[in-house]
Amino acid sequence: MSFDIALSGIQAINEQLETVSNNIANASTYGFKAGRANFSSVMAGTKANGVEIGSVTQNIGQNGSMTTTGRGLDAAIDGRGFFVSVNQQGTTQYSRVGIFSPDTKGFLVDSNGNRVQGYGPSKNGSLGVIGDVQIPTGQIPAVATTNIAYTGNLSADWTVPATTTFNATDSSSYNMVKQSLAFDSLGTQHTVSQYFVKTGTSAVDVYYGVDGNPPGATPDVQLTFDTNGQLTGTTSGTVGFTGTGATASSVKIDYTGTTYFAGETTTTTNRSDGYASGSFVGVEMAPDGSLVAKYSNDQSQVVGTVALATFANEGALSAVSQTSWVANASSGAALYGSPGVGLAGKLSTGTLEGSNVDVTSELVGLMTSQRNYQANSKVMTTENQMMQALMQALP
């Protein structure tokens, strides 16, 4: 009996060593959770009958350290939660490994090729139904300019130009010219020139020209200022143009906030909306889980949001790989949401979560297992010697 008990100890220790060696081997595996072999006594009725490994549990709740990668589609969860993916068999899996990339069809997939789950672009603040996240990788169309915002200080020290008849080719007939960019409906870029001409103590006429074409003979807008240098009356003008093959454009130029003080002439804002068409150049993830697609025209747009899952008892999840789990009755059903909402942690982008293996502790455990193995071996050796002595004592 003692021989069998010692043998069960050796077998259990071998299983424990498998767990320890697996932990050490995966110490550098992203998202790996250390396992622990749990010994359990074996009884034969009321008598002790050795030991066995009753279960192997993973320390899922303890996060690993963060490793900076700088990659836009790498993300680690700072807090609770799991990334959600669906494999080719339709099984929903949960993982802490945030290594993502778009596949050939634009679907966001994890490092195993499973489709990452999330939400489409938000509508009215609602996330909608969770599902595959597909990133549009084509061009975005051009958007025509409708507004130009110009803000600055028009110097009260300006003098009325000596040449009283405005002529865009004669710089002595105006005080300043500023250019702004505008796009037509096809995305063709145009240059809008604004010629500022002081006409009185607190009045400035503005003439508009497009792409080098001369302005008309009358001003497009007159800006007037009060005795405190603040804009009064009309605050905007309109310029129209038609690009080749494009729809006619009408652009409002807004001067709200422009002042009329003595001293230097300055420009604080010269900004237009609209843009040319752009090609997809990449996608990055934001800390709130938003997927931001970037385009060659310097535009960007949110094309989806990665979902996180939390569980009432995450420690009871069933492992399907070294770094992936599935839900079961003990873990409870997954609660889905966006990062940073409810129990789910925020994302740390450009980083990955390492394993939570404590190599030092594992090595100490390895030495303890070695001593236990030797002790059980000694029991078996002693039992064998006693049996041999008994056999020799028999006539």
Task: Give tens-digit pLDDT for 292-308.
Answer: 999 999 999 999 999 99
Q: Are residues 158 and 256 in the same domain?
A: yes
pLDDT digit string, tens, across residues 154-167: 999 999 998 889 99
Task: Compute the half-sphere exposure of residue 304: CA atoms within 13 Å on the CB side of its CA.
Answer: 21
pLDDT digit string, tens, across residues 97-126: 999 999 999 999 999 999 999 998 877 666
- Average pLDDT of the residues in 216-233: 94
Residue 17 domain flag: yes
Phi, psi torsion values for 317, nearest 5 degrees: -60, 150
As a whole number of Å, the end-to-end CA separation of the chain is 24
Q: Are residues 224 and 183 in the same domain?
A: yes
Q: Are residues 120 and 157 in the same domain?
A: no
Q: Are residues 102 and 165 in the same domain?
A: no
Q: Are residues 112 and 181 in the same domain?
A: no
Min mean pLDDT across 342-346, 350-354, 383-387 is at 383-387
Assign residue 177 the CATH number of its domain: 2.60.98.20
User: Is the whole model's pTM more than 0.85, yes or no?
Assistant: no
Of the residues 237, 272, 307, the one at which a domain ends: 272
Q: Are residues 210 and 151 in the same domain?
A: yes
Q: Are residues 101 and 45 in the same domain?
A: no
- Two tokens, residue 33: 């959770």
The type of residue at 279 is S
- For the chain, what is the domain count? 3
Q: Are residues 258 and 162 in the same domain?
A: yes
Residue carrying structure tokens 């975005």: 140
How many beta carbons lie within 10 A of that of residue 1, not counting itself? Answer: 11
Q: Are residues 259 and 367 in the same domain?
A: no
Residue 196 domain flag: yes
- For Cα atoms 131, 133, 136, give the angle at the middle one, nearest 5 degrees: 145
The pLDDT confidence band at residue 59, using thresholds 50, 70 and 90, is confident
What is d(CA 212, CA 380) in angstroms, rounded to the nearest whole number? 100
Residue 278 domain flag: no
Say if residue 261 is exposed, middle or buried (CB neighbours under 10 Å; 0-12, 13-18, 19+).
middle
Residue 51 domain flag: yes
Please say if the pLDDT value at position 2 is more than 70: no
**Are β-strands 290-295 and 280-285 bridged in parallel, bridged antiparallel, or unpaired?**
antiparallel
Residue 141 domain flag: no
Domain containing residue 259:
147-272
Q: Are residues 323 and 372 in the same domain?
A: no
Residue 365 domain flag: yes
